[in-house]
Structure 1
Amino acid sequence: MTDLGALNYFLGISVTRDSSGMFLSQRKYAMEILECAHMVGCNPSRTPVDTESKLGDGGTLVYLYMHDLRKPHFSALKRILRYVQGTFDYGLQLFSSTTNSLIAYLDVDCVGCPTTRRSTSG
C-alpha cells in the first residue's frame, strides 16, 4: 500500500475536511453536466420536477420515449438541470465522533414469502 496523503477527491466526490468532520460534495460533477448542456448560469429551480405538468399517463415507462422526445420531455430535462444549478452547495456533512461504535440494522427475512418476495417478519 502507498500513502497518497489527505483525501481530496475520490470517485467523483470532493472531500473537504475541517475541525467538525468532513463535507462530501459532487459540485465538480454537477458543473460538468451543466457545461455539457450549455446551461451554466441558468436560473435555478427549487424543485426537480414541475408538479403542474405531466410527461405522460401514470405508469408509462420513460425509456419508451427515448427515440421520440417531445417538448414536454425536453422541458422536464431542462427543469432538472436548473435544479442541479440551484443545488451546487448541497452535500453530505459527516461529523467527527469520539465513539468508535457502528450501529447496523438488517432484515434477515428479506424474501420470506416465495410468492410475493416480501418480508414476513414485519
Structure 2
Amino acid sequence: MDKDGAFHVDDIILVTSSDALRDVLLSKLANEFTMKDLGPLSSFLGISVSRTPNGLFLNQSSYAQDIIQRAGLVSYNPAATPIDTSGKQSESAGNLYHDPTFYRSLPGAHQYLTFTRPDISYGTISLGLSISKSKSTSLVSYTDADWAGYPDTRRSTSGYYVYLV
C-alpha cells in the first residue's frame, strides 16, 4: 500500500462470455479503480492466448522457443529424458562461461516455464490449455499468498483467480 492508502494491482485478466457483460464489468470496475483496458488479450506473462470457436487456447510454445533460442539450443534434438543420465563434469573441466548473469537467467526462465507447464519438461511444447464456456452459474475462487515473503521489506505477494463456472 502506498503512503496515501492506495495500492497498485497489475496483470489482471477479465474474460467474459459476451461483449455486453465485459462492458458492464469494466464500467463498474472503472467507477471504483483507476485502470486501463489494454484491449483484446493476446499474451500474458509468457502465455500466448488465441481464440477458438469454443473459447480460448493458452500455450507457452513461443516462450519455450525463446528460451531455447537464447540458450543457443535451436539445433539440438529433444531427449527421451530431460536429465543427462551419463554426463559428469569436474569443477576444473572446460572454460568459464563468458556471461554468468546471462547463464543464470536461463534456469530462472526454465523454472518459471516448468512451474506453469510441468508437461514442458517432457517435450510437449505445442500443447496447451483450452478454456471453454460453461452453462453452470457457480462462482469459484482460488487464492494464494506469501505473507511478508520478502525478507528485507516484509512485503507480501498474492494471486487470485475467480471463475464463474
Residue 65 of structure 1 is matched in structure 2 by none
The change in CA–CA distance for 1:93 and 1:45 in structure 2 (over 3 A counts) is: farther
Partner Cα separation in structure 2 for residue 53 and residue 3 of structure 1? 51
Assess if the C-alpha contact under 8 Å between 1:9 and 1:15 holds in 2.
Answer: yes
**C-alpha deviation, 1:39, in angstroms:** 1.0
Between stretches 14-23 and 83-92, larger displacement belongs to 83-92
**What is the one-letter code of the residue matched to 1:25?**
N
Residue 11 of structure 1 is matched in structure 2 by 45
Between structures 1 and 2, the one with greater strand share:
2
SS of aligned partner of 2:56: strand
Identity in percent = 42
SS of aligned partner of 1:22: strand
**What is the one-letter code of the residue matched to 2:134?**
S
Structure 2 length normalisation: TM-score?
A: 0.39
Residue 32 of structure 1 is matched in structure 2 by 66
The change in CA–CA distance for 1:24 and 1:69 in structure 2 (over 3 A counts) is: farther
**More contact order relative to length (CA 8 Å, sep ≥ 6):** 1
**C-alpha deviation, 1:45, in angstroms:** 2.8
| Equivalent residue pairs, number | 85
**C-alpha deviation, 1:53, in angstroms:** 5.2
**C-alpha deviation, 1:103, in angstroms:** 5.0
Residue 94 of structure 1 is matched in structure 2 by 131
Partner Cα separation in structure 2 for residue 85 and residue 8 of structure 1? 26
Assess if the C-alpha contact under 8 Å between 1:30 and 1:84 holds in 2.
Answer: no
Structure 1 length normalisation: TM-score?
A: 0.50
Provide the aligned C-alpha RMSD in A.
3.8
